Amino acid sequence: MIRKPEISEYNPFYQPYIDQLHSDEIVPILKEQLASTEAFFRDLSEDQGNYRYAEGKWSIKEVLNHINDIERIFTYRAMCIARGETQSLPGMDQDVYQENSGAQSRTLSSLLEEFLALRKASILLFDHMTEADGMKVGEASGSKVTVRALAGLTAGHSAHHVKVIQEKYL
């Protein structure tokens, strides 16, 4: 079972994501988000997917693409650390990733399908980890982090950005 991390298990920069977790068990949150995130994005039109709330801000499609990118990155880091990786894992520049993603040329529905596939894989990854796996420590983006922190960050990051869309885009 993967539980909510303690603040000492991740860089404090990520606290807003952990603050989104409303349960101590991460996998049930990931499973609930699978359904709620699907319902949320399915209710949006393709035109809404192109909406930006201000100049220079990402479109809703680009936000969903970013959620997908970070899901991949956090779960990759978690898998590496759980499997015993000792090398420091690299950081990333979200703006460079976005510029090279081609998200604006995709449909909102294709980005949602990608999210659903990624989230199902994330659930399978974390659902089969032990508590001991969750407590393994590695380094990513220059900071120490536990596997369970990365699981929590995966759920919290997604929740954070859905909330931003609700508050600033719709």
Q: How many domains does the chain contain in total?
A: 1
Does 1 map to a domain?
no
Nearest to 150 by CA among 134, 170, 129: 134
Label residue 117 by pLDDT band (50, 70, 90). very high
pLDDT digits (tens, 9 = 90+) for 20-40: 999 999 999 999 999 999 999
| The model scores a pTM over 0.85 | yes
Where residue 69 sits, what CATH number does that domain have?
1.20.120.450
Are the C-beta atoms of residues 21 and 156 closer than 8 Å to each other?
yes
Does 146 map to a domain?
yes
pLDDT digits (tens, 9 = 90+) for 99-110: 999 999 999 999
Residue 158, number of CB atoms within 10 A of its CB: 28
The half-sphere exposure of 162 on its side-chain side, counting CA atoms within 13 A, is: 22
Which residue segment(s) compose the domain that 119 sits in? 7-169
Does 23 map to a domain?
yes
Are the C-beta atoms of residues 82 and 133 closer than 8 Å to each other?
yes
Does 38 map to a domain?
yes
pLDDT digits (tens, 9 = 90+) for 58-111: 999 999 999 999 999 999 999 999 999 999 999 999 999 999 999 999 999 999
Does 2 map to a domain?
no
